[in-house]
Structure 1
Amino acid sequence: MSYAIRIHEIGGPEVLRLEQVEVGEPGPGEARVRHTYVAVNFIDVYFRTGRYPMPLPNGLGSDAVGVVEAVGPGVTDIRPGDRVGYLLGPQGAYSDVRVMPADVLIPIPDGVRDSTAATLMMKGMTAQYLFRQVRPLEAGETILYHAAAGGVGLIACQLARALGVTMIGTVSTDEKAEVARANGCAHVIVTSREDIAKRVREITDGKGVPVVYDSVGKDTLMASLDSLQPRGVLVSNGTSSGPVVIDTTLLAMKGSIWLTRPAMIHYATPRSHMLDMAREVFDWVLAGKIASEPSQTFALADAAEAHRALESRRTVGATVLQP
């Protein structure tokens, strides 16, 4: 018998239930994957609370790594025994084994541990598409990145350093500031006691930055706008503090600002593009440019506690579940 976390109603962490589930054989175009690690992402909270609607009852979780146990008819590029990860496909990663569409599976190369890959599926690929596609960065630029000590943030710190980019990162505590610096963040702003936009202007000699990556949302919107140069880009890649609601005339008033709200699905498809993205991320790991391991590990049955830790901002770096 297999187990999975299921939700039957939207709400707090208490709606996450560990249940026995039947997992059958893969059908055409499918593969059965036994998980070794399951990633916990803030987007999971959005689904659990109903910010991102989905039919109920349902599973939860979008990315994991594991080993292929069986493949269905028509699957030719994935074989039993392959180590794989995924970040797209239906909700339901919070499980020990599941049947998946094979075309979303990403082979994990030798030299990259499962524990490392578990932090790179959604988080590493997010850093890749933010810095390399949404608003491609160039060496010598200075950027502002919110939540620099988070799961994506620590990878972003290292990637910015590898790209020759000066990263100004925001964090909530001095302890998180030390972690961000250790991972390559050039300047760290502690939001509990520092004015974000004022510090950005001081660091940049009054110029501001050409791009802000803001996964916090409502609480940091004005600081992000006030930190940008004229015709700068605000990349709104998350809303952990609440949705962003903006009158577009404000974008003109703040300097003809460009605003984008990217979604992974539009950057990681078709499959060939997703594999190219993953290959670049894994190459960074194998070249020693980024190193990533889970900072917090919870048992699958303790998914609710993992959510409580994530929402309370007690976590640093990546959080995973272990079936």
Structure 2
Amino acid sequence: MSSEENSFYDDCFIIHPDDPSYFDLFGLLFSSKLGRRRFIDCPHQSNLSFVRRWIIFVSILLQKLTLSMRIPLILTRNVLEMSLNLVSWNGGLFRLPFRLMTGKLEWPHKSSAKFRSLMAFIDPRVELDDKIKPGDAKYKASLCMMSAKFSYENEAYIKTNIMEHWKMKFYEFWNDFEDHITTEVFMMQDTLSNPNLIVVAFRGTEPLQLLWNSVETVTAAPPTIQPHDLRANLDLSWYKLKHMAKGKIHSGFIKALGLQKNNGFPKELRQPTDDRRDFTYYTRRRKLRQVLHENREARFILTGHRLGGALAILFAALLMLHEEAWLLEKLEAVYTFGQPRIMKK
């Protein structure tokens, strides 16, 4: 790893599950010398017990098997979501056959404001609890809960259901380690009752992925149901951030927030002018600076469900790492829901 990339952590344990052959993988069980393993970066560790090596072996093996299940997993998610929306769009299960026979069947489109995620079918609420008013002790928590829930939906759904009540913006961000967009986060401002309160909500793990989270006690769950994320659930890699607590942070969280392969996590991101990729941490921090400079009285809250909660916590930690004192003064609170553990001893 480059010296620039190493500038944000003191120690690391990084597994590259795509590199080893099955022969290399089985060799891990018979030798404790990690320096011989080209698929593991661990500069401050040389030997591991057989139990630890067995856990790593199982982790990598399951990641390889998960990748082979890519097509079935994507099809399962798509079929389930499309089926639920098909029934919903056509008036329910009993009216669906009639509309099919009369040629009036309405086929769902994923970019439509009517299209709902699995989370929206589980919890169909779109309004805040009208019994909770601004100033109430539960108001901010309730606002964050609804924001975290809506982070699972598409942009059109959010705008249609919330824009008339709150001023919202929704963004997608690049994940440099997966070479595709994985992290989604939107900013919301309650312009009716509390214009000085801004909520930043990070998207969490989709419900179908919960079936794969049995190993979450030792790792964490990056976003959506793509097989890249299921593999990350099983990844045991970690970083120990500089100037932070002694705990080790799961690498999936760092990557989801914008860690770059050759540049680590510098305080200011230097991108080529032709590089249009968005990195979650830097783009959201820049937007917060802009909005808070426009309204000096405003403060912001970070929130998220499951993975989104973990990203919210780590976002605040990176602000501390980069000594963003002015932004930290504007941070009102961090509310998380069902957040997995982000650090291990």
TM-score, scaled to structure 2: 0.26
Higher strand proportion, which one? 1
Decide which structure has the larger Cα Rg and report it.
2
Higher helix proportion, which one? 2
